[in-house]
């Protein structure tokens, strides 16, 4: 290594997203400082390589806003806790935990949800001998705000496929962030209170940190720590997130394309203010059309099961127990005698039967939010086109999706505070934020000007439409949260690759939103062929929200128990790394179900799976067309 003299400006870092301060740590690692042949200039001390102990707090200072708040070494087999209380999670290998705070945060009263010391970041570093030269950071969920990330007595995200697991088993540097706020309630990911200041105005700093700055700072700081800790820059950097994490991945590609070589973004919460406002629409349908009486879980299950039974044979001619192409399903419960109550001319005499009005309400939920609450006949339009219909504000969930899932916005969850039915909490918080009225939210929403009071129940179709419009109008104040800019030219030009996927039976985020964005990106990037050179979309039949099965079993005796082929752990991430590092295009992926009795190819949009001939359980019997 050629060491620069103290008077020589350091060259720009050769790895994306790494600041000059962090670059100097690496560039001067092992150097002796100034040349003895430079008279009158005192030799500069050589920066100390980062070590996993208290010295790292002073040694790592990449900028004035960043503070190291905790450094902790874990040995292989150690319980991953900071307070002496066993967590049940153990270190798969030797690990170094570093917690950071990146200011300036948002000042205010200590008890105000909007008050923040800054962005909390938790970075996990494998032992130097185990590092695979990758950075593999993880996205968040919901409103983020997990308080354990910045807490000094708890480990954040240590379970499952959290960053400690990624670092310990994969050998990558991994990280997570609270995106600039630590929730003060037990429902961190569902709590949007942080986004409103105590005086009722918009917390613009909080929105910016949540929308983009928090994830960018995590990327930069994780790479800088890796460079200083290992004495070399990361060779590859990857984003991996679903739901909010999917939105964050798209935001990185659009706003900070230099941060990652590869982005894996699933069930993405892009079009944030629009689709989340639309999540409240099923509840408004039940308030306005059904007199405020929610459909029961049994009724919602019957409607979804009947849709599966009506459409799950569309691919092979035999019932699969799940729908492979929801776009071909125009099932109408209002014309199904087996679902309609006898009083509505049907044959169903059970408590789960639907009246004609209730069946039409389900059709509205499936179609998605409209300005006036109207819905066309399913035979004319099921609401899942590549573009929105003139009166349609957003898409609904696909037919066959489990509407009675605890995450589905059409199902009335029990409000743990008031003990009464309530919708998906993020949706009422977002509508309250769009309209800048905290009383619209649930009682979990806290603000000095007034707490949530469930006033969402009084909203009409036109008022909910206004909330959607307001969410779009406030994008600049909301940190441009929607992450739906189709111009990906900077990400393309720097050589990045993005793989996005969406479960076609997502119980929370309509998959049509991802398709809608992808079509817009294709138009902006020179067509579908040009887009697919660096950005591919994989729709996954029967997959729910980020993991598991979102569709339901068909009616007993008609459809078998659903056991669809789904991605294996890390299958999609491996496909991304192979694309980035080996040039292997991810167009020949095969999915298997849990007991390996069924395999099918995973088709890249706009292609769809088609049965050709042969054994229906074998992937070779299908083609992507």
Quote the pLDDT of residue 188. 85
Give the three-state DSSP class for 119. strand
Same domain, 310 and 366: yes
What's the pLDDT at 409? 61
Residues 285 and 395 occupy one common structural domain: yes
* Residue 128 covered by a domain: yes
Note the pLDDT of residue 547: 78
pTM of the model: 0.91
Residue 288 inside a domain? The answer is yes
Same structural domain for residues 34 and 71? no
User: Are 112 and 24 in the same domain?
Assistant: no
Q: Is residue 328 part of a domain?
A: yes
Average pLDDT over all residues of the chain = 89
Question: N- to C-terminal Cα distance for the chain?
Answer: 53
Domain shared by 311 and 432, yes or no: yes
Shared-domain flag, residues 56 and 69: yes
Contacts (Cβ under 8 Å, ≥6 apart) of 26: 227, 228, 231, 232, 233
Q: Are residues 156 and 226 in the same domain?
A: yes
Residue 609 lies in a domain: no
Would you say residue 531 has pLDDT above 90?
yes
Query: pLDDT digits over 106-155, tens only?
Result: 999 999 999 999 999 999 999 999 999 999 999 999 999 999 999 999 99
Q: What is the pLDDT of residue 371?
A: 98
Q: Does 64 lie in the same domain as 21? A: no
Among residues 473, 488, 517, the one where a domain terminates is 473
Q: Is residue 492 one of the residues assigned to a domain?
A: no
Average pLDDT of span 4-27: 34
Residue 163 has pLDDT above 70, yes or no: yes
Of the residues 424, 441, 473, which one is the last residue of a structural domain? 473
CB-CB contact of 508 with 409 (8 Å): yes
Question: By residue range, what is the domain housing residue 204?
Answer: 52-234
Residue predicted with more confidence, 332 or 420: 332
- Give the list of residues 6+ apart from residue 595 with CB closer than 8 angstroms, or none: 563
pLDDT exceeds cutoff 50 at 557 = no
Is 11 a residue whose pLDDT tops 60? no
Residue environment code for 519-538, b if the CB has 16+ CB neighbours within 10 A, otherwise e: bbbbeebeeeeebbebbbbb
The residues, ordered by sequence, that sit 6+ positions from 575 with a Cβ below 8 Å of its Cβ are 499, 584, 586, 589
Bridge partners for 535 per DSSP: 498
- How does pLDDT run across 35-87, given as a tens digit for each residue? 333 344 555 555 568 999 999 999 999 999 999 999 999 999 999 999 999 98
Using one digit for the tens of pLDDT, what is the confidence trace for 320-377? 999 999 999 999 999 999 999 999 999 999 999 999 999 999 999 999 999 999 999 9
42 with 100, same domain?
Answer: no
Contact between 580 and 497 under an 8 Å Cβ cutoff? The reply is yes
Q: What Å distances lie between residue 40 and 8, 34, 37, 563, CA to CA?
A: 15, 11, 9, 76
| DSSP 8-state code for residue 168 | I
Q: Which of 413, 446, 473 is the last residue of a domain?
A: 473
Helices (H), 503-609: 512-524, 528-531, 571-582
Q: What is the pLDDT of residue 21?
A: 36
CA distance 342 to 353: 8
**What is the predicted pLDDT for the residue at 123?**
98
**pLDDT of amino acid 550:** 60
Q: Of the ranges 88-102, 145-159, 307-321, which one carries the lowest mean pLDDT score?
A: 145-159
Note whether 164 and 57 are same-domain residues.
yes
pLDDT digits (tens, 9 = 90+) for 453-477: 999 999 999 999 999 999 999 999 9
Q: Provide the token pair at 249.
A: 């991945």
Q: How many domains does the chain fold into?
A: 3
What's the burial of 355, exposed, middle or buried (CB within 10 Å: 0-12/13-18/19+)? middle
Is 249 among the domain residues? no
Domain presence at residue 177? yes
Residue 184: pLDDT band (50, 70, 90) is confident
- Cα–Cα dist 280/274, whole Å: 11
Q: Is the pLDDT of residue 382 over 70?
A: yes
Average pLDDT over residues 385-412: 84
Per-residue pLDDT, 160: 64
- Structure confidence at residue 424 (pLDDT): 86
CA distance to 46, 440, 462, per residue, from 368 (Å): 61, 21, 14
Tens digit of each residue's pLDDT (9 = 90 or more) over 247-282: 999 999 999 999 999 999 999 999 999 999 999 999
Strand 609-611 to 622-624 pairing? antiparallel
Compute the distance between CA of residue 625 and CA of residue 612 in angstroms, rounded to an integer: 10
DSSP secondary structure letters along 489-525: HHHHHTT-EEEEEEETT-SSS-THHHHHHHHHHHHHT
User: Which residue's entry shows tokens 């003990």?
Assistant: 419
pLDDT at 583 over 70: yes
On whether both 317 and 303 belong to a single domain, the answer is: yes
Q: How confident is the model at residue 495 (pLDDT cuts 50, 70, 90)?
A: very high
Residue 586 lies in a domain: no
Give dist(CA 524, CA 521) in Å, integer: 5
Residue 294 near residue 403 (C-beta atoms within 8 A): no
pLDDT attached to residue 422: 56
* 66 in the same domain as 10: no
Cα gap 608→241, rounded to integer Å: 24
Q: Which of 466, 480, 24, 513 is nearest to 265 (CA)?
A: 513
Separation between Cα atoms, residue 428 and residue 163, nearest integer Å:
31
């Amino acid at each position: 290594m050629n060491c620069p003299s103290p008077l020589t400006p350091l060259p720009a870092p050769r790895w994306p997203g790494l600041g000059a301060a962090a670059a100097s740590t690496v560039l001067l690692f092992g150097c002796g400082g100034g040349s003895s042949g430079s008279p009158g200039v005192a030799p500069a001390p050589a920066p100390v390589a980062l070590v996993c102990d208290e010295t790292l707090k002073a040694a790592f200072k990449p900028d004035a806003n960043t503070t190291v708040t905790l450094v902790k070494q874990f040995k292989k087999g150690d319980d991953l806790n900071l307070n002496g209380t066993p967590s049940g999670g153990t270190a798969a290998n030797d690990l170094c935990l570093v917690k950071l705070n990146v200011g300036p945060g948002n000042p205010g009263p200590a008890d105000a949800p909007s008050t923040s010391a800054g962005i909390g970041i938790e970075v996990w570093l494998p032992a130097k001998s185990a590092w695979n030269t990758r950075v593999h950071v993880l996205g968040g969920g919901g409103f983020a705000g997990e308080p354990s990330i910045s807490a000094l007595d708890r480990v954040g995200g240590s379970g499952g496929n959290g960053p400690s697991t990624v670092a310990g088993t994969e050998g990558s540097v991994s990280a997570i962030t609270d995106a600039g706020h630590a929730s003060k309630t037990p429902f961190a990911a569902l709590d949007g209170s942080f986004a409103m200041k105590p005086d009722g105005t918009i917390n613009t700093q909080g929105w910016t940190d949540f929308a983009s700055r928090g994830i960018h700072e995590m990327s930069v700081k994780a790479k800088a720590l890796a460079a200083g800790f290992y004495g070399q820059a990361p060779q590859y950097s990857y984003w991996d997130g679903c739901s909010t994490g999917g939105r964050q991945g798209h935001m990185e590609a659009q706003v900070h394309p230099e941060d990652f070589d590869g982005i894996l973004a699933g069930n993405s919460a892009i079009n944030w203010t629009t689709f989340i406002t639309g999540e409240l629409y099923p509840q408004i349908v039940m308030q306005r059309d059904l007199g405020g009486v929610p459909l029961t879980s049994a009724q919602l299950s019957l409607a979804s099961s009947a849709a599966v039974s009506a459409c799950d044979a569309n691919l092979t001619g035999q019932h699969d127990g799940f729908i492979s192409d929801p776009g071909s399903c125009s099932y109408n419960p209002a014309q199904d005698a087996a679902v309609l109550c006898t009083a509505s001319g049907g044959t169903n005499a059970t408590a789960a039967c639907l009246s004609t009005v209730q069946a039409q309400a389900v059709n509205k939920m499936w179609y998605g939010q409209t300005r006036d609450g109207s819905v066309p006949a399913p035979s004319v339009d099921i609401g899942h086109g590549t573009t929105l219909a003139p009166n349609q504000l957003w898409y609904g969930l696909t037919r066959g999706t489990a509407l009675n899932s605890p995450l589905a916005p059409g199902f009335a969850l029990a409000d743990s505070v008031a003990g009464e039915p309530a919708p998906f909490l993020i949706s009422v918080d977002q509508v309250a934020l769009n309209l800048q009225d905290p009383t619209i939210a649930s009682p979990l929403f806290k603000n000095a000007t007034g707490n949530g009071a469930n006033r969402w129940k009084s909203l009409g179709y036109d008022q909910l439409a206004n909330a959607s419009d307001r969410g779009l109008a406030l994008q600049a104040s909301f940190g441009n949260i929607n992450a739906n800019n189709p111009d990906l030219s900077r990400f393309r030009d720097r050589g990045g690759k993005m793989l996005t996927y969406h479960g076609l039976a997502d119980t929370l985020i309509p998959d049509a939103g991802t398709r809608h964005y992808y079509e817009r990106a294709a138009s902006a990037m020179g067509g579908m062929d040009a887009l697919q050179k660096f950005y591919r979309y994989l729709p996954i039949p029967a997959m729910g929200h980020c993991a598991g099965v979102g569709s339901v079993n068909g009616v007993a005796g008609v459809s078998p128990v659903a056991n669809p082929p789904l991605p294996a752990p890390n299958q999609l991430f491996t496909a991304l790394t192979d694309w980035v590092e080996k040039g292997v295009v991810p167009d020949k992926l095969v999915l298997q179900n849990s007991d390996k009795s069924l395999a099918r190819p995973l088709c890249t949009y706009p292609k769809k799976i088609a049965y050709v001939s042969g054994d229906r359980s074998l992937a070779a019997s299908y083609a992507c067309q």
